Amino acid sequence: MASLLLLLLLALSGPGTSLFSPGSGRLLPYDLLYADGVRAYFARDWPRAAELLQRALHSYSQLLVARRGCQGRCREEAGFAGPLAAPSWETRFFDRILQRAECLGECLGRRLGSEPSLHRASREIQEDFEQREPYNYLQVALFQLKKLDEAVSAAHTFFVANPQHLQMREDMEKYQRMAGVKLESFRDLQATLYWEAYETGVQQYNVEEYLQAAVKLEESLEEVLLALEDCRALCEGPQEDGTEEEMQPGLYEAITAHYIQVLKCRQHCVLEVATKPGRVSATDDFIPSHLDLLQFAYDQVGNQALAAECAASYLLFYPSDELTLEKMKRYQAELGEEASMTARENIQRYVQRSLMEKKLIYYAVEHLGGTFNDPDPWTPDELIPGSLKQKHRENREKQRLENLDVGEQEQRGPFTFEGITVAMDSHQLNGSQRVVFDRVLTDSECKDILRLAKLAQDGIVNWRDATLLLHASEKSRKIVESYFTPGKRLHFSFTHLVCRTAVEGDQDGRMDLSHPVHADNCLLDPEGKECWREPPAYMYRDFSGILYLNDDFHGGDLFFTEVDAVTVTAQVRPKCGKLVAFSSGRENPHGIWAVTHGRRCAIALWYTLSPEHAEQERMEAEDLMRQGDMEQELSHTDVEEHMGTDHSGGASPEPPVPKGRARSTSQRRTSGSESGQQPQKLRARDEF
């Protein structure tokens, strides 16, 4: 858990060193407090560990407050107001720089009570605090001290920012089962105010409570803009590029390089504040989306003046948005020609400042080299230099395709597979990119594949049996490809024969799931009403399918929900030959009810449009099947050529299927190795 640098700090500070001096009036460096706290943790000195870790967190928080406060104060006291007239512009410019540096040093020294350079921790330690690692140590120490509610809060704070941490997930489940733990103890000690307000506002907006939504969204927007200023202020602190150059740059080159780095940092602050703790992906168009939602909410409650103000502010980001321009015309007509409909001043300042920074950054990239990943989709094309426009368009088009409304993809031609019918389409399933097909398999084909599943569990599967599975899944792939992506090749991402058997015992009133609600290519966040397309999700999956093999069981129905994972929008009852297919993204969260009697079997299928993510094992298995067919044909040819010859050994044995999935050609049979060889086992995985 501890980083290498942290362990070095532990060693250097020595076992008897005390880095915590209460009442001294000085803010001690958080990295040293952290090192001492972790040493106490490993020494199982729980009171000291808890005290020092809490002090380290407090020191880190106060350091950020001091830096933000001093940046704001010195910006006012030693600003760059007024023109820098020639010929003395250079001396006047650097005079103000020196004043700003002096102001910052004096302010930070006074607030921290010590030399500011003492508080410059390594990048590794900074990342520990940004990822809330001290709370992980702290929750254990507090638990050992039997301070259960405080331990739960510390654990929850760490878990919010690290939802994939398996050990903490187990710890949280244990805390939830413990007697005496209060529900209110599960709170985020580092919660950002605007996220709660934003998510509450969006929820109220979605249920058409527009007046309440407007209040929360205004609160969120105000806090977001403040958080942006805080983030931008911290960009002016010490920079680490992790490189050691042999030759130091000249004066102006050094100033330019550092300043452009600061500007890039400031630009990316919008991504930082738009990324919920524990997530990698930022909420798209975070600030414009506030204004768009507010505009509609105010319109619905009859406040056209504020609706027009929000619409005008939105147009600063997207000046040619036709829908918003039409609304502006309507608002002008309703409010009268004399009514002033101008954008909010704080939004005007935000956009003007951002565009000026982008202009400087793009100029530097064009003439001095480097790269810039523009965080905003609304950056106007005319701002981007001609030599960089093509790359910018490619990145923007890629992003547009990823965010393409799945509803637009439902325009397709007639379905032409003979004998197969569309039992339910997206409209009947109350969603988008969903469909149910009937009669994909016959009753006899279902029985053959069920026999394959039984043989696999009992021990023996040969290449003929495995061919049944490959043919059924390939038929399903062609159907899904024809329906959803005509003209585009769908590749198998994963194929899975799965059976679920009911547990023994009383089944009355069971409401549990054999597979919880999820989406197939993103991480579902029901509370935030989001689905984050980021690792460890299988982001390359584009479409999913389930081909059912039987219906002689109870339970086991598939159901779709809203993004909240609670509101069920459709349910599908399994049946032999029924294929359910759907897009794999946030538009189709789904789960499966537990089987309460009998055994449900199905073929689970996932598809991708990316050839590089095609299922390699399947292609190798298909090669094995083709090899088996060829060898069987050769075997028949040999029998015909030697008709009448005595073959005491009888017919040639069928070629075996390698254990598990086919891996490589080195596992295939070679001539001369067949004598007495038994077909190997192929296990069917009993999980979905």
Q: Mind telling me the catalytic residues?
A: 600
Indicate the residue type of 331. Y
* Spatial distance between the Cα atoms of 240 and 44, rounded to a whole number of angstroms: 35
Contact indicator for 42, 60 with CB cutoff of 8 Å: no
Give the residue carrying structure tokens 């159901």. Answer: 559
Helices (H), 180-250: 193-206, 210-234
CA dihedral defined by 185, 191, 193, 194, rounded to 10 degrees? -120
* Spatial distance between the Cα atoms of 278 and 210, rounded to a whole number of angstroms: 29
Burial class (CB in 10 A: 0-12, 13-18, 19+), 311: buried
Contact indicator for 64, 116 with CB cutoff of 8 Å: no
* 591 phi, psi to nearest 5 deg: -150, 175
Question: DSSP assignment, residue 185?
Answer: G
Nearest to 627, CA basis, from 568, 585, 671: 671
Evaluate the CA torsion angle 162, 168, 170, 176 in order and state its sign.
negative
Tokens representing 507 are: 């089944």
Tokens representing 623 are: 């090669």
* Spatial distance between the Cα atoms of 63 and 51, rounded to a whole number of angstroms: 18
* 572 phi, psi to nearest 5 deg: -125, 125
Nearest to 609, CA basis, from 481, 519, 522: 481
* Spatial distance between the Cα atoms of 253 and 104, rounded to a whole number of angstroms: 23
* Spatial distance between the Cα atoms of 192 and 156, rounded to a whole number of angstroms: 14
* Spatial distance between the Cα atoms of 241 and 260, rounded to a whole number of angstroms: 13
